[in-house]
Amino acid sequence: MPIKQQKKEPKKPFSGRKLALTILIGVFISAMVISLVNLTISYVYEPPKYENFCKATSYEGMAKAIPGSCTNANCTFNKALSDVADECTQNRGNAIYEYDNNGCAISIKKCDTCQKDFEDSMSSYNKNVFFFYAAIGFVLIVVGLFLGDLLIQIITLPAGAFLVIEAAVRNIEDKLLVIIVFALLIIAATYLAWKKLRKD
């Protein structure tokens, strides 16, 4: 005798109270997922620290005077010194002056580029972190699209979208890269969502 296939029972619709509880729990867990991703990335891949680039002692005597000038009214303007200081500033550096006994700037000990080095390192860090957040966010969005459980969708879809947006904010200086990656993610997510909805 042929075995009768049992019909799958249709899923029962959520009651109002259960739906509200599901949304509340989903949003709460979604926030925790976002926090977990942030903490994990910052722990595994630490951002550059300002103090590792710029030591406080490097700025002793700095900004006592404007380039080529001094704190003493008797000091004379030094055009050559001012030109060197301007060149240092244009190279995103800070001039470290040497002063005589009267408090007049007589030379520039060095053009300190620690701030520039820190900013360049932070920019590189943000670019790398951008890809981490964008990739994790996209994976969460895909998981939310293809898993039919409402709770999982409420957890993954907002968390994924938030991480993708956070990725853009972190690397907003490199607008072209953000635009290209965002466009690709939007196209991919839209296509997957369209394919999923057609199947359903």
User: How many CB atoms within 10 Å of residue 81?
Assistant: 20
Q: Per-residue pLDDT tens for 64-83?
A: 444 444 445 577 787 888 88
Q: What is the dihedral of CA 106, 110, 113, 115, to 10 degrees?
A: -50
Cα–Cα distance for residue pair 81/90, rounded to 1 Å: 14
**Contact (CB, 8 A) for 182 and 135:** no
Which helix or strand (DSSP H or E) is residue 94 part of? strand 94-99
Which helix or strand (DSSP H or E) is residue 181 part of? helix 175-199
Q: Per-residue pLDDT tens for 15-24?
A: 677 888 888 9
Write out 8-35 in H/E/C secondary structure.
Answer: CCCCCCCCHHHHHHHHHHHHHHHHHHHH
**DSSP strand pairing (94-99 vs 105-112):** antiparallel
Residue position matching structure tokens 């630490």: 46
Least confident of 51-60, 119-128, 143-152, 172-181: 51-60
**Contact (CB, 8 A) for 114 and 138:** no
Model pLDDT, residue 69: 44
Cα–Cα distance for residue pair 94/116, rounded to 1 Å: 9
